[in-house]
Amino acid sequence: MPARAQDTTLRGMPVIRDAEIEQLMRDYAQPILRAAGLAQQNVRVVVLSDRSFNAFVMDGRHIFINAGALFDAKTPNEIIGVFAHETGHLAGGHLQRLREQLASAQTASIVALLAGIGAAVAGARSGAAGDIGAAAIMAPQQAIMRSLLSYVRTQEDQADHAGVKFLNATGQSPRGMVELFKRLSNEVLFNSRYIDPYMQTHPMPADRVAALETLAKASPYWDHRDSPELQLRHDMMRAKLSGFMERADTVARRYPQSDHSMPARYARAISTYRNAGLQQAIVQIDGLIQTQPHNPYFYELKGQALLEGGHAAEAVAPLRQAAQLSHSTPLIEIMLAQALNSSNNPKLAEEAVSLLRNAVVREPDTPDAYSQLAMAYSRKGDLANADLASAQAAFARGDLKTARQLAARAKTRLPIGSPAWVRADDIVNVKPPNIKAGAQ
């Protein structure tokens, strides 16, 4: 996983946390969300550690996208197009309305049907895929299925329309969205055995793609291209995902030594640190830093390689640089605090505490931040606050039982009524329905 800080999950889904990728996702999504009038709703893009192509919304607060989709998209515009479509679902309140439809269908197992919808729609175009669709559908349920299917189709058309509108409003081309959807629908035609999750949740028959294309080509921005700067950031992200997620020989094939571009050097440096020697990796990372001395993520990578290689004290300087250049990005500050904690220097524990107290305000659901905070407090000999931070770590992981036990112990050590005591008391008294909200 790119983000070493987090081996984390959201509702059981494996999440990739990485400062560089998350910043890029924000820069892709924010203009679209603003155009949709959703700027105030704090919608976050969450990157899932999954190689297949998928993007979806499940609530009003997150847009989920698989690392596989980021990796497959050749241009920023394709991903921005996906976000525009998903934002169309959010802005249209589709989730809520689909839930109402499902409730009125009064069939507990109806949700299972949804998985078959994409295959069934695709099957209308291709005999082989049709078999898959047919197999997924039980005959008695076909009537409900048909009505839900047409309902989902309507939502997809609406999301396409809204997506193009948001892209136009932000002066961006809808071309990436059209090309991506075309590519996905062709994949189903030519390879009926493999149906991407995105196809299942976003049925994409030919007439839908054709309607989208007509609408999109009328856009005055059809020929607009991503800026070279944004394209480079996109290519760097794909290189990072390759370096972290792919085997060394695959990375070497994709980014051969003869390729001297920044993305190729980035992918190779990451792959070297993961698969070969630390020394060799540091040489490559220093080369990157020399070429772009103001890129915070190169210093972050250097710090990460040193920290994981057992050189915590040496990791502090590059991580400080990364934190400063990235304007105190919480994920980087959490890693810096980890390096400070691991340096076996009690004087540094104070600095770790202040970094982490800031980080948890902006990243309140990150268990690692609380675990590091607990360690920093215990280095300082502050056992009461160490207990409270451990309780918060357990709470963020969703382990309510441990969280309550630790919070109860923290309470016995904290001044009654102090802010820390109140936080501990909140955890002791939390009721299960609140946990979900708190742990998201």
What does the binding site for Zn ion look like in residue numbers (CB under 5 A)?
Answer: 156, 159, 202
Quote the least distance from Cβ 289 to Zn ion, whole Å.
41
Q: Which is nearer to Zn ion, 57 or 369 (CB)?
A: 57
| Structure tokens that stand for 412 in this block | 């016995």
Minimal distance in Å, beta carbon 152 to Zn ion?
8
By beta-carbon proximity to Zn ion, the closer residue of 156 and 368 is: 156
Closest residue to Zn ion: CB criterion: 202
Nearer to Zn ion, 84 or 406 (CB): 84
Structure tokens belonging to residue 394: 């357990």
Q: Please say whether the beta carbons of 267 and 251 come within 8 A.
A: yes
Rounded to a whole number of angstroms, the minimum distance from the CB of residue 44 to Zn ion is 19
Closer to Zn ion by Cβ: residue 65 or 251: 65
Say what the alpha-carbon torsion angle 286, 289, 293, 298 is, to the nearest 10 degrees. -120
Beta carbon nearer to Zn ion, 20 or 156: 156
What is the DSSP annotation of 301-369?
Answer: HHHHHHHHTT-HHHHHHHHHHHHHHTTS-HHHHHHHHHHHHHTT-HHHHHHHHHHHHHHHHH-TT-HHH
Separation of alpha carbons 422 and 51, rounded Å: 43
**158 versus 275: smaller Cβ distance to Zn ion:** 158
**Min separation Cβ 133 and Zn ion, Å:** 18
According to DSSP, the residues that pair with 64 across neighbouring strands are: 46, 56
CB-nearer residue toward Zn ion: 72 or 156 = 156
Rounded to an integer, what is the distance from CA 316 to the centroid of its chain?
27
CB of 3 to Zn ion, least distance (A): 27
Amino acid at 298: F
218 to each of 77, 214, 215, 440, how far by Cα in Å? 17, 7, 5, 40
CB of residue 88 to Zn ion, shortest distance in Å: 7
- C-alpha span between 344 and 342 (Å, rounded): 5
**Residues for the chain: how many in total?**
440
Nearest-approach distance from CB 89 to Zn ion, in angstroms: 6
